[in-house]
Amino acid sequence: MKKEGLTYSYKELMVVVLARDIKDGEVGHVGMAGGVPAAACMLAQRMHAPNLTTLVAGFVNPKPRALYPYGGDYRNFEGSEAIESGYQVFSYTEASLVDFMFYSGIQIDMYGNFNLTMTGSDVTRPQFRGPGLPNSGLAATAGRFYLYHEAHTKRNLVKRVDFISGTGNIDGPDGRRKLGIHTEGPRLCVTPRAVMDFDKATGRMRLKSVHEGVSLDEVVQNTGFELLMPKAVPVTPPPTDEELNVLRTELDTLGILR
Amino acid sequence: MKTARKSKVVSLSEAASLVKEGSSLAVGGYSMVRKPSAFIREVVKKRVGNLTLFSNISSYDTDLLVGAHLVKKAYLCHVTFEYLGLPPNYRRAAEAGEIQLVECDASLLVAGYLATIEGLAFHPVSSVKGNDIVKHMDLVRKFTSPDGEEMTAVSAIAPDVAVLHVPEADEYGNARHLGGILFDANIFAAARQVVICADKIVSVHVTESEPWCTTVPCYYVDAVVEAPFGAHPCACPPLYGHDEEHLMGYLGAARRTISGESPQAFAEYLEKYVYQPKSIYDYLELVGGVEKMEKLKKEGRA
């Protein structure tokens, strides 16, 4: 979806925001979802982080000719340098060998907990049964994780998730430490309207920037809880020509992010 | 007296007979990739029920078994038709409380398999902290380590039958994934009986010429089935991609039945594609024959 007057789509902007936060030499895990997180890692590799290792559910450093809408599509793994088994996925999760992970959710809450499992109050009779997630452990053992959602509405950004599929800051600044989790947890939450980060003092989600063409009021009205506000709300820095060019000509050659 | 080595090749029907009423069944593959679909249809055809299902990441396999009312209990991490939508029969049964779903995560399942593989009663997991999955997973056990640390472990998981689909296997059960093995690696080693469905049964000379390509060694395997395009409508890389048109038809039939728009649509799907076909060749003709398979071969290629 491209907003009128902009030269890029909000999905492309989400990719760029995430890519810029990744450091050279890190090891990142994309999960099964593909799309935005896969593009973020591959863009970072082609721009400032050539020594980034991208793990995609068993595949190491894939270099597909295009991004495909289906994360499990075998063509996404073309150009991989190694193929690991489920046991290796288990071991890098348990032994905390991954620097960052990406998660989305049917619900994401103000403390960065996310839910892919169910809504309602009774797990045996859910109002809505979600898809579940293969790897919840990296929310605790990866150095940090990024939350992203392709919609920014009160339905998916909620005060409290009905079910914690993956551990964010739980209920406050010490939520993770009290459970013996010593990794950073959620760092950013990126949506088609804005970028949020997390306040260290409260563990809560805070607005970081609003995308070009989106009003502050629109962000507030579409968030299901009170977002902490920074002193000033900048506009999310748009993609550079170089970033867009690499993204469109080397990665997303089918245009699934446009 | 010299005796010949025994082939493990059996028919699809014989292999599916290993799954009995009330069995636990672990299904290989992930998402819409390398699912033993022909085997699953055969189990549905035999109407073997009260199954306990294990699968890390599933799609058509889980939804078909649940839609045919054969699943009693399930350990599943992620069920999805990805960009095609959510699994309709699975969602409906879960929301109606008709199946007992045990919340799961890959680390919890792998730990359960590892306990069996290593001959232990349970296997510790350290990653799954603070989430609600671990609170609801019924095989989780808490224990105090020799160092006094409170830890989480999972009881050993040993499914009665594991079924995998691979592009190639030989008659003795040496299987060749020719790509990522992912969680298949854990289930074949943990299950009591292992069925390998292969698009093609190759000569043991092929195995011997590239032993480093063998992903499941023969001594784990009980039965080998030749099932050409046996993953259809799912993909079997590097041979062929998934059949989007057929999967959309499947999802449409299930959705129309659930919404009440066409209450018989899913039963008609089962009748046409599961109960009626006399063989896998019959089925392949029904879903588009050689022309369709050639198209899926082209689409599956990078």
Interface contact B106-A166, CB threshold 8 A: no
- How high does pLDDT run on average in chain A? 94
Choose from A91, A123, A169 for mutation: most chain B CBs within 10 A.
Answer: A123
Minimum-distance CB partner of B78 among A75, A90, A131: A131
Strands (E), B130-231: 140-144, 150-155, 161-170, 175-176, 193-202, 223-226
Query: Which residues does chain A have within 8 Å of residue B131's beta carbon, measured at their own beta carbons?
Result: 136, 139-140, 164-167
* Segment A60-69, tens digit of pLDDT: 999 988 888 7
d(CA B157, CA B204): 32
Q: Dump pLDDT digits (tens) for A106-162.
A: 999 999 999 999 999 999 999 999 999 989 999 999 999 999 999 999 999 999 999
Q: With a CB-CB cutoff of 8 Å, which residues 11-30 of chain A face chain B? A: none
- CB-CB under 8 Å, A74 with B33: yes
Name which of A87, A174, A253 to mutate to probe chain B: the one with the most chain B Cβ atoms within 10 A of its Cβ.
A87
CA A176 centroid distance within chain: 19
Which residues share a beta bridge with B202? B170
The pLDDT assigned to B167 comes to 98
User: Which pLDDT value is given to residue B302?
Assistant: 54
Amino acid sitting at position B83: Y
pLDDT (0 to 100) of residue A46: 96
Task: Please say if the pLDDT value at position A33 is more than 80.
Answer: no
Q: Who among B31, B103, B183 is closest to A86 (CB)?
A: B183
Chain segment B205-246, per-residue pLDDT in tens: 999 999 999 999 999 999 999 999 999 999 999 999 999 999
With beta carbons under 8 A apart, name residues in chain B contacting A137.
Answer: 105-107, 125, 127-128
Q: How confident is the model at residue A1 (pLDDT cuts 50, 70, 90)?
A: low
CA distances from A244 to A7, A40, A240, B208 (A): 9, 12, 6, 49
pLDDT of A78 above 70: yes
pLDDT of residue A57: 74
Query: What separation in angstroms does the CA of B54 have from each of A43, A209, B105, B147, B154?
Result: 36, 43, 11, 33, 15
Q: What is the C-alpha separation between B167 and B173, in angstroms, rounded?
A: 13
Q: Is A115 exposed, middle or buried (0-12, 13-18, 19+ CB in 10 A)?
A: buried
- Is B20:B51 a contact under the CB 8 Å cutoff? no
The 3-state secondary structure of chain A, one letter per residue: CCCCCCCCCHHHHHHHHHHHHCCCCCEEECCCCCHHHHHHHHHHHHCCCCCCEEEECCEECCCCCCCCCCCCCHHHHCCCCEECEHHHHHHHHHCCCCCEEEECCCEEECCCCEECCEECCCCCCCCEECCECCCCCHHHHCCEEEEECCCCCCCCEECCCCCCCECCCCCCCCHHHHCCCCCCCEEEEECCCEEEEECCCCCCEEEEEECCCCCHHHHHHCCECCCECCCCCCECCCCCHHHHHHHHHHHCCCCCCC
For residues B215 and B186, the answer to whether their CB atoms sit within 8 Å is no
* Residue A212 pLDDT grade (very low, low, confident, very high; cuts 50, 70, 90): very high
Instruction: Flag residues of chain B having pLDDT under 70.
Output: 302
Cα separation of A246 and B298, whole Å?
Answer: 27
**Among B65, B76, B78, which residue's Cα sits nearest to residue B19?**
B65
Q: Which residue has the tokens 């939804």?
A: B63
Nearest to B126 by CA among B155, B106, B153, B157: B153
Residue B133 CA to residue A162 CA, distance in Å, equals 12
The pLDDT of residue A2: 58
Interface test mutation site (partner A, options B131, B244, B301, max chain A beta carbons within 10 A): B131
DSSP state, residue B271? I
Residues in A 184-243 with any Cβ partner in B closer than 8 A: none
Angle at B87 between CA A116 and CA B236, to 5 degrees: 105
Q: What is the DSSP letter of B216?
A: B
Residues with Cβ within 8 Å of A14's Cβ and at least 6 positions away in sequence, in order, are A36, A40, A148, A190, A191, A192
* Contact call for A137 and B105, based on CB within 8 A: yes
Q: What is the DSSP letter of B178?
A: S
Residue B187's alpha-carbon distances to A90, A96, B216, in angstroms, are 13, 23, 11
Contact A94 B126 (CB under 8 A): yes
CA distance B252 to B257: 9
CA distance A18 to A77: 21
Between residues A129 and A78, the one the model is more confident about:
A129
User: Three-class SS of residue B36?
Assistant: coil
pLDDT per position as a tens digit, B118-145? 999 999 999 988 899 999 999 999 999 9
